Amino acid sequence: MKYSSATSDPQPIVVVSIGRHTRLGDALEYALEGLPFETTDANEFTQKRLQNRRLLFAASTDAGGENAQMRALTARLSAGACDLSGCVCAMIADKERGGSVHIDALRLLLAANAAGAEVLSRPLLEADRELRSVSQGGNGKETPFERYRAQARVLTRRLSGARTTSAEWPRMRFDTALEGGAAHDWRSALTRAISAVGGELTDEADAEQTILLCENADGLPDERTLALLCGGGKVRFLIASPSAGGELYAAALVERVCLRGDFALPGKALILFEGLSAVEALANRTELERVKLALVPKK
């Protein structure tokens, strides 16, 4: 289904349609009412120049709860099919029973982030066949579908109001649950790298972004690491992973602090040092260059 808007705006929301919509189409019509937007499908999306735009991924699964187009789009983004620098994104996923739509949606959002797009805090609205996931809240008189489309409207308004990323340096704060030399040496290295290109690494709590250094030892983030992420804001992760399961660790971290929490992910927010400890990653010149390229705002 194609949608249109009567409002003329040079930067409307780009709705990326993934799959065949029925119920989601009705929810989108309500959620986008009064907002400028345009639509594209998953195949056209990676062929467009879409920097500094607001992106809403809208996916519906088949009867088995799957969406092959979503996985294909994730693969293209992961392969570097397009540059999403300056974009900000969110997603609505409408699913049947079963399937793996949640992890597929998470992977798509992470692929968009790796391509340069910021991911909103609480960016994902999911609805299953019985709408159980949206059954809470409201005034008690609404139907589940009315709550669903109301939550979709809240998400689109948040997306519409989000600032696309500027090319200016944000004030950054470094934090880690690691102790000893690794924490000190990483702080020093980041201070030098950021200062060399005109940025600032500060200890002040009101910094615009937090850089969190963590290390995967057991496959899941520990409570000491998670306790550092209170409140909200924007967070970047440097994840050393000497143990197996680095991608699972990263996914669990993003699930907790972004999908279910109040932290947004700036573009290219996750850097995973697979097979390396924090000390080893710092000593690796190639890995340090990856960090610098991710941190420097793109002009």
pLDDT of 141 over the 80 cut: no
The Cα–Cα gap between 113 and 118 comes to 6
> Hey, where are the domains in the chain?
13-161, 171-295
Query: φ, ψ for residue 167 (rounded to 5)?
Result: -90, 15
Residue 166 in this model has a pLDDT that exceeds 80: no
Taking 60 as the threshold, does the pLDDT of residue 135 lie above it?
no
Residue type, 5: S
Higher pLDDT pick, 95 / 113: 113
Burial pattern 25-61, b for ≥16 Cβ within 10 A else e, equals: bebbeebbeebbbebbebeebbeeebbebbbbbbbbb
- The conformation of residue 163, written as its DSSP 8-state character, comes to P
* Mean pLDDT on 170-185: 91
- Looking at residue 10, its pLDDT comes to 56
Three-state DSSP state, 112 = helix
Contacts within 8 Å (CB) and 24+ apart, 37-40: 37/3, 37/5, 37/12, 37/13, 38/4, 38/5, 38/12, 38/13, 38/14, 39/2, 39/3, 39/4, 39/14, 39/15, 40/14, 40/15, 40/16
Residue 298 pLDDT more than 70? no
Q: Answer whether 298's CB lies under 8 Å from 141's CB.
A: no
pTM of the model: 0.90
The count of C-alpha atoms lying within 13 angstroms of the C-alpha of 1, restricted to the half-sphere facing its C-beta, is: 15
pLDDT digits (tens, 9 = 90+) for 185-240: 999 999 998 888 778 888 888 888 999 999 998 888 999 999 998 888 999 999 99
Q: Which of 282, 271, 67 is nearest to 187 (CA)?
A: 282
**∠ CA 204-181-233 to the nearest 5 degrees?**
30
Q: Are 167 and 298 in contact (CB under 8 A)?
A: yes
CA–CA distance, 80 with 82 (Å, rounded to integer)? 6
- Please return the burial class of 192, using the count of CB atoms within 10 Å of its CB with bins 0-12, 13-18 and 19+: exposed
Q: Over the stretch 52-99, which tens digit does the pLDDT of each residue have? A: 999 999 999 887 778 999 999 999 999 999 999 999 999 999 887 666
pLDDT (0 to 100) of residue 5 = 47
May I ask the CATH class of domain 171-295? alpha beta
* DSSP label at residue 162: S
Architecture of domain 13-161: 3-Layer(aba) Sandwich (3.40)
Same fold, 13-161 and 171-295: yes
Instruction: Tell me: pLDDT of 164 over 50.
Output: yes
Tell me the mean pLDDT in the region 32-37.
Answer: 95
CA dihedral sign of residues 161, 167, 171, 176: positive
What pLDDT shows up at residue 6? 42
To the nearest whole number, what is the mean pLDDT of the chain?
A: 88
- Residue 235's nearest CA partner among 158, 109, 106, 120 is 120
pLDDT band at 4 (very low <50, low <70, confident <90, very high): very low
**pLDDT more than 90, % of the chain:** 61
Name the percent of the chain lying above pLDDT 70: 90
The whole-number average pLDDT for the span 31-54 is 92
Write out 246-289 in H/E/C secondary structure: HHHHHHHHHHHHHHCCCEEECCCCEEEEECCCHHHHHCCHHHHH
141-169 burial, b for 16+ CB within 10 Å, e for fewer?
eeeeebbbbbbbbebbeebbebeebeeeb
The shares of helix, strand and coil residues in the chain, as percent rounded to the nearest 5, are 35, 25, 40
